[in-house]
Amino acid sequence: MSQKITGIFNILATPFTPDYQLDVTSLRQLVNFQLNMGAYGLTILGVLGEAAKMSVDERKLVVETVIETVAGRVPVVVGTSHEDTATCVALSKAAFAAGAAGVMIAPPRMEKPTDERVIGLYSEIATHIDQPIVVQDFPPVNGVIMSADMLATLAEKIPNARYLKLEDPPLMEKIGAIRARTDKFEIFGGLGGMFLLEELGRGASGTMTGFAFTEILVAIYQAFNEGRRDEAERIFDHYLPLIRYENQPVINLTIRKELLYRRGAMAHPTLRQPFVPIDAGTHEEIGWILKRVGIADPTQKVQL
Amino acid sequence: MSQKITGIFNILATPFTPDYQLDVTSLRQLVNFQLNMGAYGLTILGVLGEAAKMSVDERKLVVETVIETVAGRVPVVVGTSHEDTATCVALSKAAFAAGAAGVMIAPPRMEKPTDERVIGLYSEIATHIDQPIVVQDFPPVNGVIMSADMLATLAEKIPNARYLKLEDPPLMEKIGAIRARTDKFEIFGGLGGMFLLEELGRGASGTMTGFAFTEILVAIYQAFNEGRRDEAERIFDHYLPLIRYENQPVINLTIRKELLYRRGAMAHPTLRQPFVPIDAGTHEEIGWILKRVGIADPTQKVQL
Amino acid sequence: MSQKITGIFNILATPFTPDYQLDVTSLRQLVNFQLNMGAYGLTILGVLGEAAKMSVDERKLVVETVIETVAGRVPVVVGTSHEDTATCVALSKAAFAAGAAGVMIAPPRMEKPTDERVIGLYSEIATHIDQPIVVQDFPPVNGVIMSADMLATLAEKIPNARYLKLEDPPLMEKIGAIRARTDKFEIFGGLGGMFLLEELGRGASGTMTGFAFTEILVAIYQAFNEGRRDEAERIFDHYLPLIRYENQPVINLTIRKELLYRRGAMAHPTLRQPFVPIDAGTHEEIGWILKRVGIADPTQKVQL
Amino acid sequence: MSQKITGIFNILATPFTPDYQLDVTSLRQLVNFQLNMGAYGLTILGVLGEAAKMSVDERKLVVETVIETVAGRVPVVVGTSHEDTATCVALSKAAFAAGAAGVMIAPPRMEKPTDERVIGLYSEIATHIDQPIVVQDFPPVNGVIMSADMLATLAEKIPNARYLKLEDPPLMEKIGAIRARTDKFEIFGGLGGMFLLEELGRGASGTMTGFAFTEILVAIYQAFNEGRRDEAERIFDHYLPLIRYENQPVINLTIRKELLYRRGAMAHPTLRQPFVPIDAGTHEEIGWILKRVGIADPTQKVQL
């Protein structure tokens, strides 16, 4: 299957039951929810999908459930990062065998992550898989700095590394620096959607983020792409208080799952241990913000 | 002089000439600008004031110039953090001698910053000065984690540590945790104003931040305090795209100085080396954002 | 099986073939080698066992192969740390089912690792397993600081947390601080054996380290325990140049595998990617050091 | 004055009185002590000289006192690193005016320390001073990674950057990598002397370290340089237990000052706050180690 990886991808949360089991029913429900909200694709098993807190069997089950539920409606990108290169390759092969459109790979935390060693790692992976790789730039998580020069070299050397997911601020400056060096990458922003409009303005192909109101990002993206910039700005700026609130460091995923739970997209807001819980004040603030931006009933698709 | 430290404090940028000299004329101009915009007080020589990149003589000149220009109109808090405790004490004494209302002190980066060692440091300082101390919580800069428990203990032990400046997200949760343990602190938020409204909702006394449009923060604060919450929300949410844009990691101060320069508040947007510059795209985006929030002429006080 | 966890434990390296496959034949050979050298026990699948770079199936195969080869001669401790608590519990249960004497568990890298959250994690694990847990203190790897106070509280709360593996310098001071608060732990040192004698002097029960000449550590330990302190000192000080050389940051495991390979303990010195290789100069220096300490033939047990 | 910077340099500790004042009498005494022990030169105001905990006036007093006491007998290198480039330049000019043979400069902790930005910083400094610069590589302190490639480029561009002080393990591999790219640097090792012999073997010109028994390092260096390698090895290996003990992370300077105090080289072992103290066990262990290596009276020059 060759599906275009572009536009607004939702980084899918992974639902758990109150006793921390994988909640497969909710997972199917969440997939359909995101597609109903207009997601151009799904990215699964990223950091925000709590992949590191799942067993290999559970990860496999998530891949199969999601791809089966999606049933070819949109492309699915699977996070397959692993400290063991062979396991990363095995997970990637399994993902493509199951029907993935691409795999997203960040280097593991490592000693002395020189450019040479990081490019070597992707080259090694690319000797085993020739399908699309989304290179994930995520220094807050792995401590690996990927410079624009290094990324341009990587694009030259590895023909299937054609997608780039950025998470290293300042993001717009980084998009600009990469664009000035190579046009080989489709670039995706992140940061919870905080700079979606400016990222698109710099030439991003879309974003991959877990923000709980996918339809808002989709509306912004479509208005921008169709030249209705005023409308894109109006929507983005109107919902920014919510985007910003969800995007708090440390507790962003806890808030996001609470929002998805309030939206009826999954049966429980549970995270796996260890995670940082939110207090009563944050629960109240979530209600306050939703009211401020005019979302009376979060279970409904926001009308824009 | 005993002036109340509360409300919207501007963390003053330090103007430099294009050849990196301290620009005393612009400094006076900037002080008057911020007071005209309604600042309740000024905090000088913080991280965003580039204090670490100035000599001791220059720091002294900044203190004297600012306090002389303010001429008692508002309280001035002086950052006096230093790796050497004795120098911190000497800078603090000099600040109070010059007329400061308080000093703001963060622990230096240190090996094994246990609660005991951090409290010991403030205790040592408090044996030398009995005027108001603003305890600065700033782990991204110094690597020192200050728990709510530790801060409550510190408030019990040190009678003049009555102010707290937070910068460690999630901020609202931290305000809540401290409020549940002690009422001895006046708490100030930060993070560039990104959560001003929610911080006030949790019981913050104000904020100390360098956001370049002080009058916007003042209007939000006053509306909130006078019970006009709808208006506070309306103003905050309207200007959030700008607050957010300025608050980008790594380049926030570069953007802020550019904004202050465009506002005519200082003669040059120069930062001292080493700093991270902004590209042409960021210069354009600044104009785009100002237009989006309806600021046609940044040299004028924003009418709210 | 209940075997005493005490004395000199070898943290077992994991042998790979030149094409990066698990080398089961060498693994058996290495186990027998270490027991012939006098190891009191083996600790497998730690950081130095490259556990994070292995699949779950490979980890299982290592556990089974080692325990089968040991055949009850000494106790085996299995590293079962995992970002997912449930996987950690599952790996631990599997280890005990296979015949492990204990499991070694470090907390995963996490946001805001407060004492409460870390103790909560061990408590959760201890509701599922009641066999011996070796608490691993390893801040350079996971960023989790375990204070002496916290460790003493943990020992009070969790009856099967009776072993402690330290790796956080200064180690002797930490042993002293823990000993002053609780006598519930058997404490094991580390740091490649660099301070074995001083750790024993502070009351350590032994060490767990991967130093490639187990017989040297055993001789020091036995001499010390039998009151022959002069001999313990003589042996330790004589071989310290080698202990120190192996214990270089970043390349310690690469050197160690080279040494085990030269000793004939495994067929190849291969590490899995990503790792930091050693240069020709380091290969020469290894020979120089062996000569300096009088080890003419590393395949033979060093006579002390 | 043009004195050759080569051989065993002592990184001078800074003596304080029990009430934390600069102890100028002890400083003179310590200088004479180190020269009597055979130091080829002194490096002052480094991290281990607690320079960051001193005021600018105190730093000036230290420079003047040391250079006056040395009276031209050996070259003096002055640490002049500062977050403010202009202050760094001013401190450097003052150092040369006072008679320094060189200045040692590490980049400050900074955002995004790219090679370009780091080289730019040294270039800027070199437009103001044309005397010898010792480039200090110290990532554990400033987070700045200096690759061998970058250092070779720096040597090409900056004619007075001809000395390099390394502190980034694995050190011998780094010496090898730099030597393979450029012969423009005189390279100095560090790490408390832990690898002095191997560093010399790789082509280091000497070391700069604060180890409290300078005469031991001098004897090793001279034996090595005169081709008496067996003797160099014998001395190094014999005193390694002491070198290793002093070089413990976190408390190395506390131990070192205690040793200098026991040697009668300064009147008090005081460090300035904040520092990590040593416990009674460490005091005992210091005595134990001295006895083990045969130093009965530390006030006397060790006979080798």
Amino acid B284: pLDDT: 98
What pLDDT sits at residue D2? 58
Half-sphere exposure of C215 (CA within 13 A, CB side): 13
Whether pLDDT at C3 is above 90: no
Nearest to B282 among A172, A250, A282 (CB): A172
B56 CB near a chain D CB, below 8 Å? yes
What's the confidence (pLDDT) of residue A1?
44
Q: What is the pLDDT of residue B1?
A: 44
Q: C202 contacts in D (CB within 8 Å)?
A: 281
Q: Which is it for strands D76-79 and B7-11: parallel, antiparallel or unpaired?
A: unpaired
Please name the member of A110, A250, A274 whose beta carbon is closest to the beta carbon of C117: A274
Which of A14, A81, A83 best probes binding to C when mutated, by most C CB atoms within 10 angstroms? A83
Tokens 């080493």 correspond to what residue?
B274
Which amino acid, residue A10? N
Given the residues B53, B60, B165, B257, select the one marked as catalytic: B165
Mark yes or no for CB contact A272/C85 under 8 Å. Answer: yes
Q: For the residues of A9-63, what is the DSSP string, one character each?
A: EEE----B-TTS-B-HHHHHHHHHHHHHTT-SEEEESSGGGTGGGS-HHHHHHHH
Mean pLDDT of A192-209: 97
pLDDT in tens, D39-91: 999 999 988 899 989 988 899 999 999 999 999 999 999 999 988 888 899 99
Of A170, A285, A292, the CB nearest to B250: A170
Give contacts of D 236-255 with C, CB under 8 A.
236-237, 240-241, 244-245, 248-251
Taking a contact as any Cβ pair under 8 Å apart, which residues of chain B between 143 and 182 contact chain A?
Answer: 169-170, 172-173, 176-177
Query: Is D84 in contact with B250 (Cβ distance < 8 A)?
Result: no
Q: Give the mean pLDDT of A183-189.
A: 97
Confidence (pTM): 0.94
pLDDT per residue as tens digits for the range C98-115: 999 999 999 999 888 989
Q: What pLDDT does D304 receive? A: 87
Provide, as residue numbers in chain D, all residues whose Cβ is less than 8 Å from the Cβ of B273: 85, 120-121, 124
Mean of pLDDT values over C9-33: 97
d(CA A62, CA A14): 8
Instruction: Tell me the per-residue pLDDT of C249-276, one tens digit each, with 9 for 90 and over.
Output: 999 999 999 999 999 999 999 999 888 9
Q: Kindly determine whether residue D173 and residue C202, on different chains, have CB atoms separated by under 8 Å.
A: no
Chain C neighbors (3+ CB pairs < 8 Å)? A, D
How close A295 gets to chain B, by Cα (Å)? 15
Please answer whether residues A253 and C96 qualify as being in contact, where contact means their C-beta atoms are separated by less than 8 angstroms. Answer: no
Looking at residue C83, its pLDDT comes to 87
| List of domains in chain C | 7-292 (3.20.20.70)
Distance from C-alpha of B134 to C-alpha of B137, rounded to nearest angstrom: 10
| pLDDT at site D112 | 87
Q: Residue A112 pLDDT > 50, yes or no?
A: yes
Q: What is the DSSP letter of D132?
A: -
- Note if A301 is an active site residue: no
- Measured between beta carbons, the chain A residues lying within 8 angstroms of C250 are 111-112
Whole-number pLDDT of residue A2: 58
Q: Which residues of A touch B170 (CB under 8 A)?
A: 248-251, 276, 282
pLDDT number for residue B294: 97
Interchain CB distance below 8 Å, D87 and B273: no
Output the pLDDT for position C169: 93
Is the Cβ–Cβ distance between B242 and A195 less than 8 Å?
no
What is residue C303's DSSP assignment?
Answer: P
Option in D107, D112, D275 nearest B250 (CB):
D112
Residue A93 Cα, gap to closest chain B Cα (Å): 37
Active-site residue identified among A60, A165, A174, A291? A165
CA distance C101 to C132: 7
Tokens 């395949």 found at: C299
- Nearest CB neighbour to B84, from listed D113, D272, D276: D272
CA distance A130 to A127: 7
Distance from the Cα of C251 to chain D's closest Cα (Å) equals 7
C194 Cα to chain A: minimum distance (Å) = 21
Indicate whether D215 pLDDT > 80: yes
Q: Least CB-CB distance to B112: which of D84, D108, D250?
A: D250
Q: Which residues of C are catalytically annotated?
A: 165
What pLDDT digit, counting tens, does each position of D126-167 carry? 999 999 999 999 998 899 999 999 999 999 999 999 999 999
Q: Does C272 touch chain A (CB under 8 A)?
A: yes
CA distance C240 to chain A (A): 25
- Look at A282 and B86; give whichever has higher pLDDT: A282
Inter-chain residue contact A85 with C53, CB threshold 8 Å: yes
> Tens digits of per-residue pLDDT, D265-284?
999 999 998 889 999 999 99
What does the alpha-carbon distance between residue A77 and residue D112 come to, in Å, rounded to a whole number? 30
Q: Cβ D249–C169 below 8 Å, yes or no?
A: yes
Nearest-CA residue of chain B relative to A167? B249
Residues 6+ apart with CB under 8 A from B114: C147
Inform me whether the C-beta atom of residue B285 falls under 8 Å from chain A C-beta atoms: yes
**Chain B interface test: which of D54, D81, D83 (most B C-beta within 10 Å):** D83
| pLDDT exceeds cutoff 80 at C2 | no
pLDDT by position in tens, chain B (length 304): 458 999 999 999 999 999 999 999 999 999 999 999 999 999 999 888 999 899 888 999 999 999 999 999 999 999 999 888 888 999 999 999 999 999 999 999 988 898 999 999 999 999 999 999 999 999 988 999 999 999 999 999 999 999 999 999 999 999 999 999 999 999 999 899 999 999 999 999 999 999 999 999 999 999 999 999 999 999 999 999 999 999 999 999 999 999 999 999 999 999 998 889 999 999 999 999 999 999 999 999 999 8
C195, C285, C289, best to mutate vs chain D, most D CBs in 10 Å = C285
Q: Is A231 on the interface with B (CB under 8 A)?
A: no
Beta-ladder partners of C237: none
Q: Which residues of chain C does A113 touch, with a Cβ-Cβ cutoff of 8 Å? A: 274
Give the CA dihedral A238, A239, A240, A244, nearest 10 degrees.
160
Cβ distance C112 to A250 less than 8 Å, yes or no, reads: yes
Residue whose entry in the numeric block shows the structure tokens 């046609």: B296
| Distances C104 to C95, C96, C136, C161, C246 between C-alpha atoms, Å | 11, 12, 6, 10, 23
* Residue C131, Cβ density class (10 Å: 0-12 exposed, 13-18 middle, ≥19 buried): middle
- Compute the nearest-CA separation of A138 from chain B (Å): 15
Residues 6 or more apart from B134 whose CB is under 8 A from it?
B5, B43, B77, B102, B103, B104, B105, B163, B164, B165, B188, B208
How confident is residue C134, by pLDDT bands cut at 50, 70 and 90? very high
Size of interface A-C (CB pairs under 8 A): 74
Say which of D112, D165, D174, D301 is annotated catalytic. Answer: D165
Query: Looking at residue C47, what is its pLDDT?
Result: 83
Which residue of D172, D249, D292 is in closest CB contact with C233? D292
CB-CB: which of B172, B237, B244 is closest to A292?
B237
Complex-level ipTM: 0.96
* Rounded alpha-carbon distances, angstroms, from residue B303 to B37, B39, B264, B295, D159: 11, 15, 17, 9, 57
